[in-house]
Amino acid sequence: MIVVMKPGSTPNEVAHVVALVKELGLKEHVIVGEERTVIACVGNERFKELQRVETSPGVEKVVPILAPYKMASAESKKERSRIELITGRPETSIGGRRVGIIAGPCSVESRAQILEVAHAVKEAGAIGLRGGAFKPRTSPYAFQGMGIEGLKHLAEAREQTGLAIVTEVMSIDQIDAVCEYADVMQIGARNMQNYNLLSAVGEKRKPVLLKRGLSATLEEFLLAAEYIMARGNEKVMLCERGIRTFEEYVRNTLPLAVVPELQRVSHLPVVVDPSHGTGKSHLVPAMSRAAVAAGADGLIIESHEDPEHALTDGAQSVTPEVLARIVRECRRVAEAIDREV
């Protein structure tokens, strides 16, 4: 931590801060500059409440040096993580040379629908099937998902296709059911800082697809991953799904520079969601290719046989035909950067 004092701070104020720094278990180096005094603090600050030094008289600002997460950091694990969506089935991995595609409808709407789309998605080249059984809906009056019945349809789709099942878990009481029927627990963007839920999925050993919150910083995103990992579940995939900005031609802005940056600071695989990441089906093909070119380890794409009649998220879903074309295009882009789809 670096403490920058205000111009004109007094020796007493500096001494007071030094005492606080020592209380925190850190060692101080006081550096008197021409205009300002700076106190550089050495020691393990990672899990300390540094910001409270900010209120001390004469302090201008506090700059932490160490990232506040550890297990999620690139420093704690040198090789990049590779996660099998279904344990023992390496062809369902995310995080290796191969870029894994997960696709499917926003919601499970019926047995027939999910089985049909599962076969189409499999044929297009996906390794995972997405589909919501429990749906977080902005409106209390909207379709809230099929619940357990939807989970059973998803499990049947896995039987028929071998696809790994990725589905959202919205609350602690849904975790057991999701773990029984599905392979990957998805934490939605709106729950990225639902810490009780994060801790609870951390107790399980199934992989977690953790979506970045709409306005979460990377540090907050990695701390959410750390919540899960700190409980013992290290199978976390980081999923970028777009952020909220002033832009109007998209529902969300997809900031792809997050892909190489997350890969620099963390060992966890990075998945991109171009469907929520734009909110517009006509932008999904270009952004899927761009995500692969940027180095994404996986894609998660919404696909529906009949987007006009999807119960949820129709505006950002692509048909299975378009999905198949996207996968073909992404395969060529992946090869151009010495990866494969």
252-264 burial, b if ≥16 CB within 10 A, otherwise e? bbbebebbeebbe
Q: Are 201 and 230 in contact (CB under 8 A)?
A: no
Element at 260 (helix H, strand E): helix 258-265
Among positions 94, 151, 186, 227, the unique one binding a copy of itself when judged by CB under 8 A: 227
| 112 counts as binding a copy of itself under rule CB under 8 A | no
Q: Is 79 in the site for a copy of itself (CB under 8 A)?
A: no
**Is 147 a binder of a copy of itself (CB under 8 A)?**
no
- In sequence order, the 6+-apart residues with CB closer than 8 A to the CB of 158 are 129, 164, 165, 183
Residue 326 makes contact with a copy of itself by CB under 8 A: no
Number of other residues whose CB lies within 10 A of the CB of residue 156:
16
232 near a copy of itself, rule: CB under 8 A? no
Residue type, 275: S
Alpha-carbon dihedral angle through residues 121, 122, 124, 127, given to the nearest 10 degrees: 100
Q: Is 140 in the site for a copy of itself (CB under 8 A)?
A: yes
Which region holds residue 147: left if phi is over 0, alpha if psi is between -120 and 50, else beta?
left
* Candidate list 87, 215, 232, 340; residue touching a copy of itself; CB under 8 A: 215
Binding to a copy of itself (CB under 8 A) within 189-208 occurs at: 190-191, 193-199
Q: Does 87 bind a copy of itself (CB under 8 A)?
A: no
Using the minimum distance from each CB to a copy of itself, give the nearer residue, 19 or 112.
19
Among 75, 123, 159, 203, binds a copy of itself (CB under 8 A): 75
Residue 173 binds a copy of itself, judged by CB under 8 A: yes
| Residue 137 binds a copy of itself (CB under 8 A) | yes
Q: With beta carbons less than 8 A apart as the criterion, state whether 300 and 166 touch.
A: yes
Task: Give the nearer residue to a copy of itself in terms of CB position, either 94 or 224.
Answer: 224
257 binds a copy of itself (CB under 8 A): yes
Is residue 97 at the binding interface for a copy of itself, with CB under 8 A as the rule? no
| Smallest distance, a copy of itself to C-beta of residue 239, A | 16
3 state SS of 80: coil
Radius of gyration of the chain (CA): 23
- Residue reference for tokens 């959410």: 224
**What is the CA 56 to chain-centroid distance, rounded?**
36
Contact range with a copy of itself by CB under 8 A, out of 87-95, 120-128, 150-158, 330-338: 330-338
Scan residues 282-321 and list those touching a copy of itself (CB under 8 A): 282-283, 285-287, 289-295, 307-315, 317
Dihedral pair phi/psi, residue 12, rounded to 5°:
-65, -40
Contact 9, 58 (CB under 8 A): yes
Which of 11, 15, 25, 52 binds a copy of itself (CB under 8 A)? It is 52
Q: Which residues, 20 to 39, sit near a copy of itself by CB under 8 A?
A: 20, 29, 31-36, 38
